[in-house]
Amino acid sequence: MLKKSFTSAYLISLLAVSLVNPIGIQAQTTQQNIPSSVHLGVKPLEPFVISQNGQYSGFSIDLWNNISKNIGITTTDITSYPNVNALIDSVSTNQTDVGIAGISITADRENKVDFSYPMFHSGISILTTSSTKGKSIVPDIFSKIWVAISNYEFLQVAIAMILISILPAIAIYLAERRDKDGFLDTPNIIYGVFLAYCWCLTGIFGQEERHPSTKTGKFFGIVWMVFGVLFLAFFTAQITATLTTEKINGTIHSIDDIKDKRVATIKGTTSSQYLKDNSIDFVEFDSLSDAVNSIDNKETVAVVFDKPALDYFASKNKTNKYSVVGGIITSEDYGIVLPTNSLLRKKINEELLKMYQNGDYDTLKAKWFGKSTGN
């Protein structure tokens, strides 16, 4: 009876101790198991992760250095991955302890890995060539006309038409050269054809006072006038069509303006998934610079990707030829990637909250994105 009472008292004592300080016991155990060093995985994405000569910098790198310092752990190695999916796979298989860049938190990714509290809030946007708002109209008109006449197909047709128009000039010269009272009375064939050609060009507008006097010359003159008017109409229509195409391609203001066009994005990103889900024609590239080059090469009309990265690219481009439009299409949170049930998650979240509260986060964000960007 005494033994039974002692056993009951002992169990009650243990239960009381566990109820009094369960969190403290768990915290002590967790603290003992937190690693002293980690293997960090990154995906270069300016300005979150900037890779230069084997060294890494950027918003995410500075954020991690602050967190790891306060936790008391060191980063022994940094591995760069070609895309976000490769980085997440590395973390999910415990080849990498921590993954950081500008990685969107999604339900599919949460099934493979754990995420910290959000470290950045933004979303997807659109980068395209800058509009001409605020610029001089006259230089822009000349620029667009040059684009039109330098179009390869237009040049082919124009050259063919010019060569064809030489034929009536030759015919008119041959018919008029023997007429002493005519306007082409010259023994020099080349000069005579040149004068006839000039007459063909200016005659379309009715600017010539003298005209062919022979029946043959008048016949070819009439034929050319009809043909010349058609040529002028075609020339004008070709320039107008090219200018209209340039205008359409240059007026992208929102996601609705690209639904019937081809755009570029980055492989393995939420931007790529968004375009796929919304049936928008797109091409994937390994890097943002390659995606932007596709605009310059007329392969695409815009790049759909993370707004912070697009803003940073546009601001650093010295030509000022790109702009980010359409605002935020989809709202996303970025997080630090960790293996499932990682003991670091709680400590990382604590340090993130401290940075939000003491102003360190705002200071760091202003350094890389300016004060106008909100989280």
Among 71-75, 154-158, 189-193, the range with the most confident prediction by mean pLDDT is 71-75
- Of 311, 302, 204, the closest CA to residue 260 belongs to 302
pLDDT of residue 279 exceeding 70, the answer is yes
Residue where a domain stops, chosen among 249, 271, 300:
249
The CB density around residue 122, as the number of other CB atoms within 10 Å, is: 22
Position 200 confidence tier, pLDDT thresholds 50, 70, 90: confident
Identity of the residue numbered 1: M
Residue showing tokens 């790109």: 322
pLDDT of residue 228: 73
pLDDT of residue 25: 39
Residues 285 and 188 in one domain: no
Confirm whether 309 is domain-assigned.
yes
Identity of the residue numbered 204: I
Residues 209 and 189 in one domain: yes
Q: Domain containing 47 — which CATH number? A: 3.40.190.10
Q: Which residue has the higher pLDDT, 132 or 239?
A: 239
pLDDT of residue 17 exceeding 90, the answer is no
* 0.95 surpassed by pTM: no
Residues 293 and 204 in one domain: no
pLDDT of residue 302 exceeding 60, the answer is yes
Q: Domain containing 208 — which CATH number? A: 1.10.287.70
Q: How many domains does the chain have?
A: 3
**Non-local CB neighbours of 216 within 8 Å, separated by 6+ positions:** 171, 175
- Identify whether the C-beta of residue 196 lies closer than 8 Å to the C-beta of residue 169: yes
Q: How far is CA 200 from the centre of its chain?
A: 49
Residues 142 and 243 in one domain: yes
**Mean per-residue pLDDT, 179-204:** 73
The pair of structure tokens assigned to 219 is 């016949």
- Per-residue pLDDT of 21-52, as tens digits, reads 444 434 443 445 788 899 999 999 999 999 99
The pair of structure tokens assigned to 313 is 């690219």
- Per-residue pLDDT of 47-100, as tens digits, reads 999 999 889 999 999 999 999 999 999 999 999 999 999 999 999 999 999 999
Confirm whether 75 is domain-assigned.
yes
Q: Which domain holds residue 48?
A: 36-119+335-369
**Mean per-residue pLDDT, 101-111:** 94
**Mean per-residue pLDDT, 273-294:** 94
Least confident interval from 101-110, 139-148, 189-198: 139-148
- Per-residue pLDDT of 326-340, as tens digits, reads 899 999 999 999 999
The pair of structure tokens assigned to 215 is 């029946």
Confirm whether 128 is domain-assigned.
no
Beta-sheet pairing, 50-52 with 282-285: unpaired
pLDDT of residue 171: 81
Return phi, psi of residue 127, to 5°. -115, 130
